[in-house]
């Protein structure tokens, strides 16, 4: 991989674990300056320290609640005040859920939209002038659930569809300004998002219902995302069977995709879909 990102200013949300943490380390190895946002400051500071050991000239940890407009504004202002600009913003912070809509408390869906969608909107709003100035990259990490309706994940799918629509529209609005906008949809990734997924009552489920062994690693996702940014790709759907093929089938044979999706998700241990068989 080239050193194109040496001294670039990269802002990453959700950087205390999973894909965000892996992105921080990969960019650090390329010599990028980092501004890392997440709610868990202690964990985030450890990531920043490790990033500097790996080669980042400077990695700054900023306690960030992406559901707060002011908190997102402060994250971006920290980047600008520290490095006089921004080259890349990666909207990665996100949470999931696991419950059918019939049973879920509506506050759960609101929480999903606040984190996944509004967090992206807030950070993008304040970073956009600087990204336009640098002709940089605006990235959103969504999911295959942002391309198909994933049963048992209504709020998650809705928020990821919303992020995709939002960023696709910004790409069109800034068509003449050389802004790079990329939407990345990993397949199922080995990370802590399923441990913190919200139940129907809004509590963290605390365990994953899926076998993590066969999933793509966060590190592998990070490498692909960075390559996509380097190539200024428009969109990326990672993995084949649970990614590219799923999206393809949803476009050309949607009724079959509905059945396959229901069947696949209902096989999870304690699936909320089982009673509907």
Place of tokens 């380390």: 25
Is 22 among the domain residues?
A: yes
Alpha-carbon distance 122 to 91, whole Å?
Answer: 10
What is the extent of the structural domain holding 148? Answer: 9-240
Is 203 among the domain residues?
A: yes
Q: Residue 226 class from Cβ within 10 Å (0-12 exposed, 13-18 middle, 19+ buried)?
A: buried
Alpha-carbon distance 154 to 152, whole Å?
Answer: 6
Task: Give the pLDDT band (50/70/90) at residue 27.
Answer: very high
Residue 144 confidence (pLDDT) above 90: no
Q: Give Cα separations from 143 to 7, 129, 180, 185, 251 (angstroms).
A: 29, 27, 19, 4, 16
Is 80 among the domain residues?
A: yes
Alpha-carbon distance 115 to 168, whole Å?
Answer: 19
Domain CATH code at residue 28: 3.40.50.720
pTM of structure: 0.87
Alpha-carbon distance 108 to 182, whole Å?
Answer: 27
> What pLDDT does 193 receive?
54
Is 163 among the domain residues?
A: yes
Task: Give the pLDDT band (50/70/90) at residue 249.
Answer: low
Task: Tell me how many domains the chain contains.
Answer: 1
> Which positions are annotated as active-site residues?
156
Task: Give the pLDDT band (50/70/90) at residue 205.
Answer: low
DSSP string, 90-141: EE-----B-B-TTTS-HHHHHHHIIIIIIHHHHHHHHHHHHHHHHT-EEEEE
Is 98 among the domain residues?
A: yes
Is 247 among the domain residues?
A: no
Number of Cβ atoms within 10 Å of the Cβ of 178: 11
Which H or E run contains 252? helix 245-252
Question: pLDDT tens digits, residue range 78-104?
Answer: 999 999 999 999 999 999 988 888 889
Is 176 among the domain residues?
A: yes
User: Do residues 155 and 97 make contact, with C-beta atoms less than 8 angstroms apart?
Assistant: yes
- Looking only at Cα atoms, what is the longest distance across the chain? 57
Is 81 among the domain residues?
A: yes
């Amino acid at each position: 991989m080239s050193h194109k990102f040496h001294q670039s200013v990269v802002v990453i949300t959700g950087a205390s674990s999973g894909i965000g943490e892996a992105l921080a380390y990969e960019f650090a190895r390329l010599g990028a300056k980092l501004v890392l946002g997440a709610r868990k400051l202690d964990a985030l500071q450890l990531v920043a320290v490790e990033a500097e050991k790996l080669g980042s000239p400077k990695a700054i940890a900023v306690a960030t609640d992406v559901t707060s407009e002011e908190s997102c504004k402060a994250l971006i202002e920290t980047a600008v005040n520290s490095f006089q600009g921004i080259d890349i913003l990666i909207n990665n912070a996100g949470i999931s859920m696991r419950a059918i809509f019939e049973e879920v408390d509506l506050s759960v869906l609101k929480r999903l939209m606040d984190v996944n969608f509004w967090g992206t909107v807030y950070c993008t709003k304040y970073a956009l002038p600087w990204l336009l100035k640098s002709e940089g990259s605006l990235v959103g990490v969504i999911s295959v659930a942002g391309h198909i309706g994933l049963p048992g994940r209504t709020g998650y799918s809705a928020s990821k569809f919303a992020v995709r629509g939002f960023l696709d529209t910004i790409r069109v609005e800034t068509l003449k300004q050389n802004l790079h906008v990329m939407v990345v949809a990993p397949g199922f990734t080995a990370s802590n998002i399923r441990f913190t997924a919200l139940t129907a009552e809004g509590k963290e489920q605390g365990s994953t219902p899926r076998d993590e062994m066969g999933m793509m690693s966060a590190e592998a996702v990070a490498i692909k995302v960075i390559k996509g940014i380097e190539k200024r790709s428009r969109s990326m759907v990672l993995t084949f069977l649970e990614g590219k093929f799923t999206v393809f089938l949803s476009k050309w044979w949607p009724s079959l995709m509905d059945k396959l999706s229901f069947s696949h998700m209902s096989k999870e241990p304690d699936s909320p879909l089982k009673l509907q068989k």
